[in-house]
Structure 1
Amino acid sequence: MDPSQIKKEDANNTFQSVCPSGTRPTLYGFPGKTKSTVWAHFGFYMGEDGQLDKSHAICRHCYTGVRYSGNTTNLHTHLARHGFGHKSQPRPLSESGGRTTPVLIPKFPPGPSDGENIVTSAQKDLFQPVISGVFSNTPRSPVVLHTMVAEYLIQRLEPPGAVENSAFVNMMSAAEPSFDQENCRQFCESFMSQHQEILVHSLSDILKNSEAVALAYESWTSATRESYVTYKVYVINAWWDIDTYTLATIPDCCSIKEDLETLRNRWDLQDPLTVISTGDVEQPEHSKLQIVHCLAEALNKAARAGLQLDCVKEVLANGQKIQQHLVREVVVEKSCSVVKDGREEWLFTHDILTKLLQHKEVIKLTKSIDDVDCEAFCGQLEGVCSVLNPLKSAVDLMCSQAPIVASMILPIIKKLQVSLSPEPNDSDVVKVFKERIWTTLYSVYSDTEVRKFLLVASFLDPRYKDLLFVDKEERALAKEVLSEVATELYRRGADTSSGPDEIVITAEGNGSDCSVSIINNETEREPDTKKLKKDEEETEASTSSKSDDWLADVIGGKKTSSDSNKEEGVLAEVDQYSTMEQRTTSPFLWWSRRQPMFTTLSRVAKTYLCVPATSGPPDRMFEGARDRDDNQRRLLPADLVDKLIFLHDNYFKLK
């Protein structure tokens, strides 16, 4: 179809709302009663027969005719597509109940061929006066138009210079004859710079008011083979939803450790801070900075290490020969090589080996192919696929979960350990293959501090809180570490509290459950007898203060009963949580409903549950690095790339 031709239906929707003289006919509201709110934005025209034309509902914002067949799906779609929400005020309807003079709707002249749903250039010339009348009556402000263009560029990761594209200029000139590309380019440059500063301040406020922040980074390569690293933060908001924001995109020329320190200082990221790493990043000097390896990268690393074994390479080479033979015999379709370079090589290898395994019977019928014993190869093929199958299942699980958090790392690792454990009937190739994969995978999370962090994260997840995938000693360790972290968090909060509170702990008769209640001592008045007793205790304490201070190093420091009760209340929260049943509910939904019950523990949960298990979307981590900079954005300056990605990822979230 000629690019100059337009759909007849689109033209009809545009011109139905316009009289031959260029003035608009009167709009009438929906007749009768209706519960749908969409009719506040739509109306009907009066037809030639004096009845409402209900074939098309007319938008009261843009006067576009939308096909109406009895349901409001098309109407809702039109409002959502064009951004007409509750804040947009529709134009008023007619106050009269009917019309005396019918409005004639422009008719289409016959097209070049019967039934063709297009409008030719000759037909467009017929409607050109009507088009001019529509746009001349509804001029659009240049600021509004330029803002829409700037947001369009932000959404598409395009620089301001994209408005100078000839096709873009022709499109805008057709929509708005007064369009000036130079003014639009200058406006977009100013718009992007100003909103980058505004978003920086808004994001800084969000990070300062967050209970905890997790930091992750992802490496990628542009079309011009320039390497970048994008740093993102993960926070849990007041509604217990994970929000992700981009902090910066930096050329991959410095060390990750230096970039982390720079971002900590620039954004004033407070402790505790957890970083999801995709490389071998050493633990910095800051004790509060916890480095956890990306689970997706750990799986890729372990699978690649196993595929590099000489015995496994021999199996893959034999598989390559058999695959080529089957292709020549037209038994299987031609596919890519069994061995494929890149971070996702093991997934391609697994898929191709699985396809070969489906033709096992055909391969066995062939005694030998290029000196390859087909009978022995089928056994080796089954063994290699059985080792890679658990890794593929882990990938499928991660890609199906949203979001995937660090609390899932230890359960997945334990499941892989069970699946990769040696069996008596395993061949030598399978035993070595399993050992190499498990050794590589275990070494990633063997650090003591990382192990403690993941234990507490799984303990705070109601799906895994029983910790049945670890031994009894590690369960006790997880509870101990959680109690220490919760007590320390409470003490930090108590130092900045405005007034003293009293925590009362009540336990059931069997001692299994307990509840915690907080009483504000400023609003609760103590009985006189207790007040007198308290005065006597204070008098006695004042007389022996000197001796207590001198003996403090042997009898212990002073600790008021109020502080002791409060910290016991925090430990009571841990005890109460540990006795609750394990659930399959989402951890964020579970904690959002029980935050009033666990006032301190819920804050600790945010610290651990905001940490993702991967540094990016799992599907992208296993598909390989995706270019965020295509061929049309070649050789952009690093600061412009940083600005475009920062706006693209944050503008519509913080707008």
Structure 2
Amino acid sequence: MSAVWNYFQVSPSDIKLAICNDCKAMVMRGGTKTSSFNTSNLISHLRMNHSERYAAFVQQSNETKQQRQAALKKNTQLTLKESTEKKQKYNKDHPRAKAISQKIMECIALDNQPFSIVQDAGFTKLVEFLEPRFAMPNRKYFSDVCLPELYSVVYSHVEKLIADAVSISFTTDIWSSSVSQVSMLSLTAQWLDKDFVLKKSVLHSQECRGSHTAEAIASAFEGMFETWKICKEKVHVVVRDNARNMAKATSEFGVQSLPCMAHTLQLAVNGGALSQRSIADALAVGRRVVGHFKHSPLACSRFEDIQKELNMPVKKLQQDVPTRWNSTYYMMQSLVEQKRVLSAYAADYELPTTLTATQWGILEKMTTVLEPFEQLTKDISSAEATAADVIPGVVSLTRLLAKMDESDKGVQTAKHALLEAVSKRFNGVQSEPLYAIATMVDARYKDRYFDLDNKEGARNMLLKIVDEMASVGNDQQEKAAGASADDPGQEDQEPPPKRARTGSLQDMYQEILAENDVTKQATTGETASQVYAYLGEPTILKTACPLKYWRSTHARFPALARVARKYLTAPCTSVDSERLFSAISNVIDEKRNRIHCDNAEMLIFIQKNLPLLDKGKN
């Protein structure tokens, strides 16, 4: 605004006029429209009528002009300086450059990208567009500097979480690469925090050199646990495969271990059903049929054309893998599903072999027989599955297999063999404390799935461990503050929807629960009262979360809650290690078959544990 307005003010009755502060004269502002207003008449009025005021006005105008010129000069100089700086690249130690390098390192680890991506033209152009001042370091800088730095940050966070855990369960396995002469030994951990939230972490996927003897594996375990400062008293259980060297290694190391339930089911199905002569012959023919389409693009395209002609969805036949029985189940399922298509194909084109009517019947019935195995495998392979799922799953499965009807004609022998194999493989599972106690403290199961010979023994095991842990943890009693006033055992207790009896695995779970009524027992002692009060309440729905139950019930049953926090950490399979090795196979692949094992382990460690760090920041 001009300094002349220090001596004038706009007329309140007419904005086209200005009033002189000294003589109160009305002076035109230079037009009738706002856009044409100016200060020329006002300045002339001061010059002709108020010389002193005019001199002060001129001085003020000159000062304002000088200030504006100085500010403009300063801004021009700053702009030129900034423009020059924008053309200069960050050095590697600049905070912005280090932050970008860390994000690129995270991208490499999380997305299984090779270090050479930092030299790829497309990636470097993208980064340059986003931040022109960033100078892309070479791949060696990322592998030798950024990777260890990020690993150290994630390691420190995981180390703190592990140190705070009361009891930890582990899974372990050995993997051998198909693209390089490398074997790796895994160690994953899972535990429950004070709020009964399940935490998981990958601790190791280290190179396992030499012969995989029990002594060598036990020595490797010793080094792993020393690295993380985990004492053996803190180890609840190690879940491993059924191999003798693994079982012996955990025994020599001095920790409790359990076999992987999925591996045990694999052995039961292979030994109990798939080894039957008629079934093995039908599967052999099915494999040849599937292999024909897998190796012939022409046959595959003709197969798809027939599917379209029959108005069926376009699907490929699935090939099975010898080490995964459920892949054989999926192969049988896909063959049965595409029976019409295969019949139409065989009428016009040649197949290496065909299934007979009897073999078709065997495949159809075996898919029905193996369906509960497949469902159980899915259930126990979920991220939330625990050792508590073993006894109810086995009991329900054996009851289902024991039910024979007319629809089993042709596969009775296989079904009976499966029943024998399951009973043999899981013999004594109800008397195993690690399984029994975990089942008892799972509010979905409690003592309802034990037979009469083992129910009392399971209760006694629970009472004993509750007493032992109560005597150790009396000085760490959980506080009742924040506990729900309602009985969480009753939440989600709406009766399950009625279903037609289909003879499924889920039907067996419900049937067993219905047969095991709650019995009240007279008790003495605080811990015994807690145990029998807990067992006397109805179970929660199978779809409910047992950890959520204990999160809101720990104040009512504090002694039992300590047992639950320990025993519900144990998984029932070594699936976490299996999934870890799937990730490792994406790191050590054809393009990176010479990557150093230490770098591969750090990459996997970051990939699997970085989400824990991100959650900790939120």
Note the C-alpha offset of 1:603.
Answer: 1.3
Q: CA offset at residue 289 of structure 1?
A: 2.6
- Report deviation, 1:137: 12
Cross-structure match for 1:465: 446
- The equivalent of 1:298 in structure 2 is 264
State the partner residue of 1:580. 537
Written as runs of structure 1 = structure 2, the 5 A alignment for 1:396-545 is 396-398=378-380, 402-421=383-402, 423=404, 425=406, 430-447=411-428, 451-467=432-448, 469-494=449-474, 497=475
The CA deviation string for residues 237-280 of structure 1, in whole angstroms up to 9 with x for no partner, is 12221111111112344344443333233322442421111232
CA distance change for structure 1 residues 448 and 318 in 2, over 3 Å: closer, same or farther? closer
CA gap of 1:645–1:624, structure 2 versus 1, over 3 A, is closer
Contact (CA 8 Å) 2:187, 2:203: kept in 1 or not? Answer: yes
Residues 344-367 of structure 1, C-alpha deviation per residue, up to 9 Å, x if partnerless? 53233232343156789999x9xx
Distance 1:274 1:445, change over 3 A: farther
Q: Residues 356, 408 of structure 1: CA spacing in aligned structure 2 closer, same or farther, 3 A cutoff? A: same
* Kept in 1: contact 2:588–2:595 (CA 8 A): no
Checking the alignment, whether the CA contact within 8 Å between 1:278 and 1:294 is kept in structure 2 is: yes
Residue deviations 1:609-628, cap 9 Å, x none? 11122222699699999644
Note closer, same or farther for the CA distance 1:221–1:622 as it changes in structure 2 (3 Å cut).
closer
Deviation at 1:605, TM superposition (A): 0.2
Q: Paired residue for 1:529? A: none
Shift in CA distance, 461/261, structure 1 to aligned 2, threshold 3 Å: same
RMSD, aligned CA: 4.4
Sequence identity (%)? 18
Alpha-carbon distance, 1:570 to partner: 2.4
Q: Equivalences for 1:58-137 in 2 at 5 Å?
A: none
- 1:571 maps to 2:553: no
- Contact kept, 8 Å, 2:187 with 2:202, in 1: the verdict is yes
Counterpart of 1:282 in 2: which secondary structure? helix
* More displaced 10-residue stretch of structure 1: 402-411 or 148-157: 148-157
After TM superposition, list the pairs within 5 Å mapping 1:142-221 onto structure 2. Answer: 142-158=97-113, 162-182=117-137, 186=141, 189-220=144-175
Within-5 A mapping of 1:322-361? 335-336=316-317, 340-343=321-324, 345-355=327-337
- Asked if the contact 1:220/1:227 (under 8 Å) is kept, the reply is yes
Report the Cα offset of residue 391 of structure 1.
1.6
Residues 257 and 414 of structure 1: is their aligned pair in 2 closer, same or farther, counting only changes over 3 Å? farther
Cα distance in 2 for partners of 1:388, 1:618 equals: 25
1:185-211 deviation line (CA, Å, top 9, x unaligned): 536633432443444444333223212
CA distance in 2, matches of 1:645, 1:150: 12
| 2-structure distance, mates of 1:621, 1:301 | 22
Q: Indicate how the Cα distance of structure 1 residues 338 and 246 shifts in structure 2: closer, same or farther if over 3 A, else same.
A: closer
Question: How many residues are aligned here?
Answer: 454
Q: How far 1:405 sits from its partner (Å)?
A: 1.7
> CA shift at 1:236, angstroms?
0.8
Match of residue 249, structure 1, among 194, 205, 220: 205
Shift of 1:426: 7.1
CA contact (8 A) 1:163 1:169 kept: yes
User: What is the match of residue 117 of structure 1?
Assistant: none
Does the 8 Å contact 2:317/2:331 carry over to 1? no
TM-score, normalised via structure 2 length: 0.62
Letter of the structure 2 residue corresponding to residue 247 of structure 1: L
Tell me the amino acid that sits aligned with residue 564 of structure 2: A
Amino acid at match of 1:587: P
Greater strand share, structure number: 1
Q: Distance in 1 between matches of 2:265 and 2:577?
A: 11
Secondary structure, in 3 states, of the residue corresponding to 1:150? helix
CA distance in 2, matches of 1:133, 1:387: 76
Go from structure 1 to structure 2 and tell me whether the alpha carbon gap of 1:372 and 1:135 turns closer, same or farther (over 3 Å shift).
Answer: closer
1:603 partner amino acid: R
Q: Quick one: which amino acid aligns to residue 582 of structure 1?
A: T
Shift of 1:406: 1.7
Q: Post-superposition shift, 1:315?
A: 2.3
Whichever structure has more helix as a proportion of its residues is: 2
Which residue in the other structure is 2:14 paired with? Answer: none
> Match for residue 283 of structure 2?
316
Q: How many Å separate the matches in 1 of 2:266 and 2:611?
A: 33
Match of 1:603 among 543, 562, 567: 562
1:643 Cα deviation from its structure 2 partner: 1.2
Match of 1:171, as an amino acid? L
CA distance in 2 between counterparts of 1:249 and 1:386 reads 39
Residue 648 of structure 1, CA deviation:
1.7
Tell me the CA shift for residue 650 of structure 1.
1.7
Q: What is the Cα deviation at residue 427 of structure 1?
A: 6.6
2:184 is aligned with what amino acid? Answer: Y
- In 1, the alpha carbon distance for the partners of 2:459 and 2:107 equals 51
Structure 2 alignment gaps of length 5 or more: 1-81, 294-298, 308-313, 479-523
**Are the structure 2 counterparts of residues 165 and 150 from structure 1 closer, same or farther at C-alpha, using a change threshold of 3 Å?**
same
Residue 237 of structure 2 aligns to which amino acid in structure 1?
A: T
Deviations 1:450-508 (A, max 9, x none): 733212111111111142x32123221111111111211223335xx49x99xxxxxxx
CA distance in 1 between counterparts of 2:375 and 2:392 reads 13
* Offset, 1:233: 0.1
Separation in 1 of the partners of 2:437 and 2:315?
49
Contact between 1:339 and 1:349, CA under 8 Å: does it hold in 2?
yes
CA distance in 2, matches of 1:416, 1:374: 30
Alpha-carbon distance change, 621 to 451 in structure 1, aligned in 2, over 3 angstroms: farther
1:558-608 per-residue CA deviation (whole Å, 9 max, x = no partner) reads xxxxxxxxx932232212211222112310110000112222211110111
**CA-to-aligned-CA distance 1:160-189 (integer Å, 9 cap, x gap):** 564344443333334334433347853663
The answer for the alignment partner of 1:613 in structure 2 is: 572
Q: Which has the larger radius of gyration?
A: 2
Q: Distance in 2 between the 1:314 and 1:636 partners?
A: 43
Distance, in Å, in 2 between the alignment partners of 1:164 and 1:237 is 43
- Partners of 2:578 and 2:252 in 1: how far apart? 32
Q: Select which of 626, 640, 643 maps to 2:599.
A: 640
In the superposition, relative to structure 1, how do residues 346 and 184 fare at CA in structure 2: closer, same or farther (>3 Å)? closer
Measured at CA, do residues 449 and 321 of structure 1 come closer, stay the same or move farther in structure 2, by a change above 3 Å? closer
Query: Equivalent residue for 2:225?
Result: 264
Q: Name which of structure 1's ranges 451-460 and 154-163 shifts more when overlaid on structure 2.
A: 154-163
Amino acid at match of 1:241: V
In the alignment, structure 1 segments of 5+ residues that lack a partner are 1-130, 502-566
CA distance in 2, matches of 1:373, 1:629: 40
